[in-house]
Amino acid sequence: MRESVQAEVLMSFLVSEELSFRIPVGLRYETEDPYAVRMTFHLPGDAPVTWAFGRELLLDGISGPSGDGDVHIAPTGAAGLRDLAIRLQVGSDRALFHVGAAPVVAFLDRTDKLVPLGQEHRYGDFRECLERALDGILAEENAG
């Protein structure tokens, strides 16, 4: 049975040090792919763009820098007033977003109630999930 958790948050898209604007970003987690979360960015004038990455990477990014590849997440601000900086990178192209940590923590808490951390293997086969994710990435690259 396919179950999911969804939320929408507003993130600041930092175009430069002087220019940023807020965009809606959809967060989605599904039991069908229990290791991943998806963020769908709704940029003005463009088709929505979805990034999928490990739920653990997002969770780790709340307390300290996380991610070595195309997705990097790190807390910013004072301990009680934390935001998250999310950097997405494809080749030399980068996009930087800021979001309040509170709605992300609330989303992750709901995902944990659906599939407790460490119990993902009960909901999906990691290799099958990885193959499905890679197939999706290859299909997007071939279509573009």
The pLDDT value given to residue 32: 87
Question: Which domains are present in the chain?
Answer: 4-143 (2.30.31.20)
Using one digit for the tens of pLDDT, what is the confidence trace for 35-70? 999 999 998 888 999 999 999 999 999 999 999 889
Read off the pLDDT of each residue in 85-100 and give the average, rounded to a whole number: 93
Q: Is the pTM of this model over 0.75?
A: yes
Q: How many CA atoms lie within 13 A of 118 on its CB side?
A: 0
Whether the predicted pLDDT of 121 surpasses 90: no
Whether the predicted pLDDT of 96 surpasses 60: yes
Alpha helix segments (H runs only) across the chain: 55-63, 101-114, 126-143
